[in-house]
């Protein structure tokens, strides 16, 4: 079954016509034909498998990754769209790193995938991993500027969401010196720079710790204009 999905849709159809075939059979990595099709970007095979009765659409491998995880990770956009169009596919399963597919997209700056997730009513764009990081936290840390810009187009995204360390996404961008992300986040009127993390630090404190003059100046200018505005 797994060998047959390598672009050989006709062979796959023949196999699926055999009533004795186990469509959810796994290999040594606990990967099924569905996962393999998504990982390798075989759209036609994926579409065929999703339509097969009894297919387990949310089955995971040894890394707790589903077909959707792999389609996102390898940036097979057509496969991602196919999976997300199937309402039986869970879009927010966590893998063994507690990353959902959207977190994976954030870490790789795959901004073109955001809309596909946002179109699902059951997707939380503020979903969190085991340490309460949202996709925005991840994107900020990784410097995924395009992802941050696109994600912030959705009004329900919380730019001030705090993780377990009580840090908002801008803390991550500052600490990792992702200046372009810092600029994008600072452009938000609803950004709260008064947030204090679990160690008693503000974003400005973290900026001073980095000794990055460009970031420090950006923060100081933001605070200066805020003071001018309120007075």
pLDDT, tens digit (0-9, with 9 covering 90-100), for 130-185: 999 999 999 999 999 999 999 999 999 999 999 999 999 999 999 999 999 999 99
Query: Which of the listed residues 69, 90, 111 is the one where a domain comes to its end?
Result: 90
Residue 200 structure tokens: 């008693």
Is 95 part of a structural domain of the chain?
no
Is 84 part of a structural domain of the chain?
yes
More confident call, 227 vs 7: 7
Query: What is the model's pLDDT at position 230?
Result: 37
Residues 113 and 224 in one domain: yes
More confident call, 80 vs 11: 80
Residues 199 and 114 in one domain: yes
The number of domains in the chain is 2
Residues 62 and 3 in one domain: yes
Residues 3 and 64 in one domain: yes
Per-residue pLDDT reduced to its tens digit, 120-138 = 999 999 999 999 999 999 9
Average pLDDT, the chain: 93
Query: What is the model's pLDDT at position 3?
Result: 54
Distance of CA 147 to the CA centre of its chain: 9
Residues 159 and 52 in one domain: no
Q: Which has the closest alpha carbon to 106: 77, 145, 55?
A: 145
Is 76 part of a structural domain of the chain?
yes
Query: What is the model's pLDDT at position 225?
Result: 40
Per-residue pLDDT reduced to its tens digit, 45-72 = 999 999 999 999 999 999 999 999 999 9
Residues 73 and 178 in one domain: no
Per residue, the 3-state secondary structure of the chain, as one string, reads CCHHHCCCHHHHHHHHCCCCCCCCCCCCCCCCHHHHHHHHCCHHHHHHHHCCCCCCCCCCCCCCCCHHHHHHHCCCHHHHHHHHCCCCCCCCCCCCCCCCHHHHHHHCCCHHHHHHHHCCCCCCCCCCCCCCCCHHHHHHHHCCHHHHHHHCCCCCCCCCCCCCCCCCHHHHHHHCCCHHHHHHHHCCCCCCCCCCCCCCCCHHHHHHHHCCHHHHHHHHHHHHHHHHHHC
Mean pLDDT in residue range 69-77: 99
Residues 191 and 224 in one domain: yes
- Does pLDDT of 73 surpass 90? yes
Cβ–Cβ < 8 Å for 152, 183? no
Is 79 part of a structural domain of the chain?
yes
Residues 77 and 30 in one domain: yes
- Whole-number Å distance between alpha carbons of 69 and 142: 18
Per the structure, the complete domain to which residue 78 belongs is given by 1-90
Cβ–Cβ < 8 Å for 61, 35? yes
Query: Which of the listed residues 57, 90, 123 is the one where a domain comes to its end?
Result: 90
Tell me the percentage of the chain whose pLDDT exceeds 90: 84
More confident call, 28 vs 148: 148
- Quickly state the pLDDT bin for 201 (edges 50, 70, 90): very high
Poorest-confidence range of 16-20, 160-164, 223-227? 223-227
Question: Would you say how long the chain is, in residues?
Answer: 231
Assign residue 19 the CATH number of its domain.
1.25.40.20
Mean pLDDT in residue range 14-33: 89
Query: What is the model's pLDDT at position 10?
Result: 80
Residues 83 and 60 in one domain: yes
Residues 116 and 222 in one domain: yes
- Whole-number Å distance between alpha carbons of 194 and 207: 13
Residues 197 and 225 in one domain: yes
Mean pLDDT in residue range 68-95: 99
Residues 115 and 226 in one domain: yes
Is 15 part of a structural domain of the chain?
yes
């Amino acid at each position: 079954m797994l060998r047959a999905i390598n672009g050989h849709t006709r062979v796959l159809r023949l196999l699926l016509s055999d009533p004795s075939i186990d469509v959810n059979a796994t290999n040594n990595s606990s990967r099924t034909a569905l996962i393999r099709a998504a990982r390798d970007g075989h759209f036609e095979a994926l579409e065929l498998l999703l339509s097969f009765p009894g297919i387990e659409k949310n089955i995971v491998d040894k890394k707790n990754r589903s077909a959707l995880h792999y389609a996102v990770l390898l940036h097979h956009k057509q496969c991602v769209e196919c999976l997300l169009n199937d309402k039986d596919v869970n879009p927010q399963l966590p893998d063994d790193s507690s990353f959902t597919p959207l977190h994976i997209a954030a870490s790789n700056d795959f901004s073109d995938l955001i809309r596909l997730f946002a179109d699902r009513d059951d997707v939380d764009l503020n979903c969190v991993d085991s340490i309460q990081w949202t996709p925005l936290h991840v994107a900020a840390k990784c410097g995924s500027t395009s992802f941050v810009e696109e994600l912030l187009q959705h009004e329900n995204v919380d730019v001030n969401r705090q993780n377990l360390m009580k840090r908002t996404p801008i803390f991550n961008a500052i600490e990792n010196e992702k200046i372009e992300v810092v600029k994008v986040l600072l452009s938000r009127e609803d950004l709260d720079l008064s947030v204090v993390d679990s160690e008693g630090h503000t974003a400005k404190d973290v900026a001073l710790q980095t000794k990055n003059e460009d970031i420090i100046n950006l923060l100081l200018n933001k605070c200066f204009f805020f003071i001018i505005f309120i007075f």
